[in-house]
Structure 1
Amino acid sequence: MAIPVHPMWGPYPRLQSDLQSVLQVIESHLQIHDKRIEATIKELVYSGGKLLRPAYTLLCAQIGDASNHDKERSIAVAAALETLHMATLIHDDVIDEADFRHGAPTVHTQQGNQFAIYSGDYLFCVCFTILSKYARTLAHLEFNARSMEKILTGELDQLHARYQIGTSIKDYLARISGKTAQLFAVSCYSGAITSQATRRQTMLAWSMGHYIGMAFQIIDDVLDFKGDFNTVRKPTLADIRQGIYTLPLIYALREQPEKLSPYLNKKADLTDDELMEVLAIVEQTKGIEKSKRLARKYIDKALKSLSKLPDGDYKETLYELTTMLLDRKM
């Protein structure tokens, strides 16, 4: 029986079927003696995440010559990267002390931090178990290991940056480059590698994925200020509550540091009313608008990289998915 995937993939039946196969591959590798951990991880697999990263892997696996397309390999690599993503989500939620993920309680809130960390570590192992079977070369496996290091470094940078009022735009962009953009870039690059695309094409896929990831995280951070819970699936202004200062607030701090600093210096003691006052300052200084404009620039860069890739049906789908990021119906 196929595992259901997010309804956004309904208009793309072939991709929808392949994404179901991705989840089946992940599920087939979850064999843990501790059935409580196995059940918790399977619940995460079934949680209805959008599976954007494996979707980009599968689409980029069509960049090379069609005669080289290895569907089983591309699905397996997509599964490995989604497993890596799930592992980082579990660890990320522990670090951020987040209570919800996709509208449901996070692993650590239900089972505790130790249990959550072990679950994330297990998923890292599953990722490399799958990659060891399907990565085309040892270099590709090593590349993914280095990429994981950059992702984890980005998470560590975010932890160190908590409640840091002096965070610059450059610091923020460097942080999300590792935290989010790296995995989008690796997803696109790995898909291209499985298709035996040329070196130039794989690097274009990497660049496209990087720019997509940058835009995705900026829009995600914007939604923390203005998003609806049904879309974002977490409380509004959750980042500020946790001391994570993202681009809209950083823009506002450049304009009105004297107004914002007294609030932010209260750290976790900010009241709901004070948070609303912070939001008002961010809106007055157009921090949200400026962030959206920067996200648009990254999307434009991604589409420019996409335009240089070989023609094919996959390309139209990539264009649609990437332009939809700004609209955030996903």
Structure 2
Amino acid sequence: MEIHPFWHGYPELNHQLIKVDQVIHSHIRIKDKKIKAIINEVIQSGGKLLRPAYALLCSKIGSDQDQDKAVALAASLETLHLATLIHDDVIDQASTRRGKATLHDLYDNKFAIYAGDYLFSVCFSILSEYSSSLSNIAYNSKSMQKILAGELEQLHSRFQPPTSVKNYLSRISGKTAQLFALSCFVGAVESKASKQEVRRAWNMGHYIGMAYQITDDILDYQGDGDKLGKPVMTDAEQGVYTLPLIYAMKDDPTAIAKILNKKDQLSKQDLEQLLICIERTQGIEKAQNIARRYTKKALQQLAKLPDGDYKDTLHELTNQLLKRTT
């Protein structure tokens, strides 16, 4: 089974992520072969498996080195992530994800929603088999609530004037950072790491998730649509106003507001003009500085964790995420 080429330079992780993929597939228990094949195709859609990778690396923090359990719990986290992506695409009415047609575009919203719900159930099925305590399952449940609350908040804020950096950071804290933090937490806590180490792993994951989402939002303005697997400037077109645009709005509110007042009627020329405003006000550079700050905070938390080879990989991986172009 082929895992994303991103992991070819990490043979041990590559091997473990293949097992993660196998665990997920083994828990897709649907009698209808066609539906099962469709959901398996979603699982095979080419994601980088970052969240399970962080869970696997953080499973080396404590003294309990149970690889099978670590792989299974990493699989539950990726399943949770896939479920949220399917629901995301329904909310955004996105036609592509990772360069492929989305479930709701191929079939319909109802099919996609139920497929996402099914993957949520698979997540908890795996957790119930492998998590060491009910309290850890409860923690996963609370985290899921925060993730979904972040998604609801983003949906509610669509086409609202992009004036608050604080609100944006709060939104992505729930939408994205929560799952990165949960991945690091699950790996650490299930390896019997100390409470202090678990807290540092959680904080590290939170900061990584914040930097990751900010970088992702920056790429929506300057990325290559073919590499990203979705058209550029999709967020602005759909009324999701992210950090580069928020900074531009602060510096040139009149010009930005004139364009955004058109809401879902933005033309290609409007989007081009929006990008010119963002470039003129250095919105992208300002957003990149915030992403760097969060990455620095993540590496500071990492430095305080117990020594081991896993730390070198975490350090390299976290720096790579900030510099990515896809």
TM-score by length of 1: 0.97
Q: Call closer, same or farther: CA 1:45–1:25 in 2, change over 3 Å.
A: same
Letter in 2 for 1:57: A
For residues 80-133 of structure 1, give each alpha carbon's deviation from its aligned partner in whole angstroms, at most 9, with x where no partner exists. Answer: 000000000000011111111111011110011000000000000000000001
Tell me which of 34, 37, 43 is aligned to 1:36. 34
Distance 1:34 1:185 in 2: 35
Task: Please name the residue that 2:138 is paired with.
Answer: 142
TM-score by length of 2: 0.98
Distance 2:189 2:35 in 1: 33
- Report if aligned partners of 2:223, 2:325 keep a CA contact under 8 Å in 1: no
Structure 1 runs of 4+ with >4 Å offset: none
Deviation of 1:292 after TM superposition, in Å, equals 0.2
Task: Please name the residue that 2:238 is paired with.
Answer: 242
1:276 to 2:260 alignment: no
Alignment of 1:217-236 (within 5 A): 217-236=213-232
Deviation of 1:193 after TM superposition, in Å, equals 1.2
Task: Please name the residue that 1:10 is paired with.
Answer: 8
Task: Please name the residue that 2:167 is paired with.
Answer: 171
Task: Please name the residue that 2:104 is paired with.
Answer: 108
| RMSD over equivalenced CA pairs, Å | 0.9
Distance 1:63 1:295 in 2: 25
1:286 to 2:288 alignment: no
Deviation of 1:197 after TM superposition, in Å, equals 0.5
Tell me which of 72, 87, 99 is aligned to 1:76. 72
- Report if aligned partners of 2:150, 2:175 keep a CA contact under 8 Å in 1: yes
- Report if aligned partners of 1:69, 1:194 keep a CA contact under 8 Å in 2: no
Deviation of 1:329 after TM superposition, in Å, equals 4.8
- Report if aligned partners of 2:163, 2:250 keep a CA contact under 8 Å in 1: no
Task: Please name the residue that 1:54 is paired with.
Answer: 52
- How many residues are paired up? 326
Distance 1:162 1:329 in 2: 26
- Report if aligned partners of 2:201, 2:302 keep a CA contact under 8 Å in 1: yes
- Report if aligned partners of 2:82, 2:116 keep a CA contact under 8 Å in 1: yes
Gaps of at least 5 residues in structure 2 are: none
